[in-house]
């Protein structure tokens, strides 16, 4: 019996889905605790590829219970599509395998319209790089206490009444500020009803399910989305997501008070970022191109090409300080094969000083200069390595350098996209 939380240490896209999928062998219940379908987890197993946006990655395993917590914002249409895609891949979704918290807030069509309109109205450096999925506006309604929750799907009259209550303000913004077309409440209701009606049987008390699992001696795993540097409080604000991505939000986002026995920090062997925002170690050169091509670095949600750069120990120290990992999972180590020299950012130069943690002033990360240490690379193909001892000496040294810098052991090393391409 234990509680495990898996989180991203960088700007997301670290490969958390694969790690959760691997650790699910130990877990009985897998819970998603924040974010929405602006995140995507890509899983590859036996030459089959699955991209999950809302359903926890443990769904690929039979006899596991997957839960969507109250900290998530859920698009009913996207969730139904995801369920259909899994069905086509031979994975059946039933209320016995998937539960949705009645407290989870729903992304409505007007949230997506507002999200897109706002981003289009911005220009240049003011653009956040949002996915346009309605995530931010939905969290805004949650905090403004006018949000629609999953439990409301059980009462059509209540659902319509809450839509009518929310629309006047949304339409005022769409019509007058963004010169867009206003929405009608009945039209919104008609759009979402096929999906909300379908999802009602999946509603449950997620907090109670977690309590029951713990009391019966079962292991619960909490799955995060995005990464620490996209946290609404601790990330590179304002270029962040709209929720707390850090480990301690696992409790608030699921209604569970249990302390975490294990926290697994997922670290990509290099650094990537999608969308706008500062990225000190970004490489607009052959190195960045190598990482982008070899790592197939395209956003699993947006399809956008990811920006790539050297490993940044400064932001990783921040992740360790805030989230307290008990172990690291290093992913995509195989992408580094073929580089003669590997550079690692060990500190920043900022306002005449050398600092070991990110500066906290807004936009300060765009003014730092990385301080690098050079390590020898390797040319061997490591995708078939099944033991740490099988890795080239320089690859082992690279891992040890990360462990020493973060004072945390690497207990999982991914050397390829498939589930089997893992050293544990």
- Summarised one tens digit per residue, pLDDT across range 360-380 is 998 999 999 999 999 999 999
> If residue 114 lies in a helix (H) or strand (E), which one and from where to where?
helix 109-121
- Over residues 236-262, the pLDDT tens digits come to 999 999 999 999 999 999 999 877 899
- Among candidate residues 41, 53, 105, 111, the one labeled active-site is 41
Q: Which residue has the tokens 């290099």?
A: 270
Is the pTM higher than 0.85? yes
Return all residues near 162 (Cβ < 8 A) that are at least 6 apart: 146, 148, 152
The DSSP output letter for 149 is B
CB 230 within 8 A of CB 10: no
Average pLDDT of the segment spanning 403-421: 96
- Among candidate residues 13, 141, 312, 334, the one labeled active-site is 13
303: left (phi over 0), alpha (psi -120 to 50) or beta: left
What are residue 163's phi and psi, to 5 degrees? -65, -45
What pLDDT is stored for residue 356 in this prediction?
98
Average pLDDT of the segment spanning 382-411: 97
What are residue 40's phi and psi, to 5 degrees? -135, 135
What pLDDT is stored for residue 128 in this prediction?
67
Between the CA of residue 246 and those of 18, 21, 156, 227, 233, what are the distances in Å?
Answer: 19, 20, 35, 8, 10
3-class SS of residue 51: strand
Q: Which residue has the tokens 């190598």?
A: 290
| Cross-strand bridge partners of residue 375 | 342
High-pLDDT (> 70) share of the chain, %: 97
3-class SS of residue 125: helix
Angle at 324 between CA 322 and CA 330, to 5 degrees: 105
CB 134 within 8 A of CB 114: yes
The DSSP output letter for 173 is I
Residues 373 and 97: their CA atoms lie apart, in Å, by 47
What pLDDT is stored for residue 248 in this prediction?
95
The DSSP output letter for 333 is G
Residues 240 and 232: their CA atoms lie apart, in Å, by 6
Using the predicted structure, report yes or no on whether residue 301 has a pLDDT greater than 70. Answer: no
Is 234 among the catalytic positions?
no
Residues 161 and 287: their CA atoms lie apart, in Å, by 55
pLDDT higher for 410 or 48? 410
Average pLDDT of the segment spanning 187-205: 97
Query: In the sheet that 220-223 helps form, which strands lie side by side, from edge to edge?
Result: 203-204, 98-101, 65-68, 29-32, 220-223, 3-8, 262-268, 327-331, 410-414, 422-423
Is 111 among the catalytic positions?
no
- Over residues 108-140, the pLDDT tens digits come to 999 999 999 988 887 666 666 677 899 999 999
């Amino acid at each position: 019996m234990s509680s495990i939380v898996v989180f991203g240490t960088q700007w997301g896209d670290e490969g958390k889905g694969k790690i959760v999928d691997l650790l699910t062998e130990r877990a009985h219940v897998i819970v998603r605790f924040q974010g929405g379908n602006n995140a995507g987890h890509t899983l590859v197993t036996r030459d089959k590829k699955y991209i999950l946006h809302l359903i926890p990655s443990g769904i690929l395993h039979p006899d596991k219970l997957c839960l969507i917590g109250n900290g998530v914002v859920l698009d009913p249409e996207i969730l139904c599509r995801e369920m259909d895609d899994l069905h086509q891949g031979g994975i059946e979704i039933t209320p016995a395998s998937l539960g949705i918290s009645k407290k989870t807030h729903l992304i409505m069509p007007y949230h997506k319209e507002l999200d897109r309109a706002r981003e289009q109205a911005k220009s240049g450096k003011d653009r956040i790089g949002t996915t346009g999925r309605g995530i931010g506006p939905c969290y805004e309604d949650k905090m403004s206490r006018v949000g629609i929750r999953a439990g409301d799907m059980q009462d059509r009259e209540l659902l319509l009444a809450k839509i009518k209550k929310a629309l006047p303000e949304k339409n005022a913004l769409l019509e007058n500020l963004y010169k867009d077309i206003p929405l009608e409440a009945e039209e919104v209701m008609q759009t979402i009803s096929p999906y909300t009606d379908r999802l009602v049987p999946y509603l449950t008390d997620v907090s109670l399910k977690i309590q029951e699992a713990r009391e019966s001696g079962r292991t619960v795993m909490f799955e995060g989305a995005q990464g620490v540097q996209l946290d609404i409080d601790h990330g590179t604000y304002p270029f962040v997501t709209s929720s707390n991505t850090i480990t301690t939000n696992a409790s608030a986002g699921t209604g569970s008070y249990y302390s975490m026995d294990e926290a697994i920090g997922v670290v990509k062997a290099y650094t990537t970022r999608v969308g706008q925002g500062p990225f000190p170690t970004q490489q607009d050169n052959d190195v960045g191109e190598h990482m982008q091509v070899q790592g197939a670095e395209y956003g699993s949600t947006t399809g956008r090409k990811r920006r790539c750069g050297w490993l940044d120990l400064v932001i990783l120290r921040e992740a360790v300080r805030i989230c307290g990992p008990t172990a690291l999972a290093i992913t995509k180590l195989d992408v580094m094969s073929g580089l003669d020299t590997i550079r690692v950012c060990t500190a920043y130069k900022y306002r005449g000083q050398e600092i070991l943690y990110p500066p906290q002033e807004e936009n300060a990360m765009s003014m730092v200069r990385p301080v690098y240490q050079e390590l020898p690379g390797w040319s061997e193909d490591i995708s078939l390595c099944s033991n740490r001892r099988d890795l080239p000496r320089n690859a082992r040294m690279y891992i040890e350098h990360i462990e020493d810098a973060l004072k945390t052991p690497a207990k999982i090393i991914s050397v390829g996209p498939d589930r089997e391409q893992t050293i544990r």
